[in-house]
Amino acid sequence: MIGRQQVIRALGITIALALIVGAFFSFNFTLHQEPAPLLRLDRPQANPSPADVGLDFSAPGLDGKEIDLSHYRGHPVIVDFWATWCGPCRKQIPELVALYKKYNKSRGLVIIGVSCDLIQGDGLRAVAPFVEEFRINYPIALADERLVDDMGVEAIPTTLFVGPDGKMVSRLVGARHPGEISASAKQLLDGVKGHGAPAKPEENRGHVVNISVVN
């Protein structure tokens, strides 16, 4: 016959295991769903641009040449703030890669990935291998603390959808369910006057880092 003390011990072990399993799944869910906070600066955060003011920023690309948002006026633009260490960012990048492949030439869609690895993480050395691993086919800019503060980015991924006039159409914070990035991109593209295909973005100004990985 099993003694009372043995029953209590077995019950305690079962409860402890249940708590451990529950904590693991809770952490795993958070890793894939919640935006990752960025380390903040000591100075007060700047307010993001009002809706009636065009967004603008300039940041170095992977090759050191400047990527300037203003050079893409006249084109719908998606700006994605991300980092290699951010689980939710990893989740949505393949969808952005597919969108760029589908709409860059046909609809003039521009996507700029803004890496935050220089602010928090392993720095520049982590970015290029990540870009190759995930086959990122759009330009990558490198953010510093001032840029994320000026753009009002408090957590990543933060994805901005910018109209051809430079004004922000919508903003998503955190990894979304599959298809939500695409739905916002379609809304952005459908808002372009005439629903036509704008001219292909210029690639010879030295402000764009084109990264393509051949299968």
DSSP secondary structure of 116-179: -TTTSSSGGGGHHHHHHHTT--S-EEE--HHHHHHTT--EESEEEEE-TTS-EEEEEESPPPTT
One-letter-per-residue 3-state SS of 27-90: HHHHHHHCCEECCCCCCCCCCCCCCCCCCCCEEEECCCCEEEHHHHCCCCEEEEEECCCCHHHH
Nearest-angstrom CA–CA distance, 66 and 124: 15
The stretch 128-147 carries a mean pLDDT of 96
* pLDDT of residue 123 exceeding 80: yes
Q: What is the pLDDT of residue 201?
A: 40
How is residue 54 written in tokens? 């065009």
Helix (H, G, I), strand (E, B) or coil at 192: coil
* pLDDT of residue 47 exceeding 50: no
Average pLDDT of the chain, as a whole number: 76
- pLDDT tens for 157-208 read 999 999 999 999 999 999 868 899 999 999 999 987 543 444 344 332 222 2
Report residue 129's pLDDT band, with 50, 70 and 90 as the boundaries.
Answer: very high
Q: What is the pLDDT of residue 28?
A: 39
Q: What is the pLDDT of residue 11?
A: 56
Counting residues of the chain whose pLDDT is more than 90, the rounded percentage is 58
Q: What is the pLDDT of residue 196?
A: 40
Let me know: does 24 contact 32? Beta carbons within 8 Å: no
Higher pLDDT, 8 or 83: 83
- pLDDT tens for 76-97 read 999 999 999 999 999 999 999 9
Helices 4-33 and 87-107, packing angle to 10 deg: 30
What CA–CA distances, in Å, run from 13 to 16, 40, 89? 5, 42, 37
- pLDDT tens for 10-41 read 556 655 555 554 544 433 333 334 555 544 43
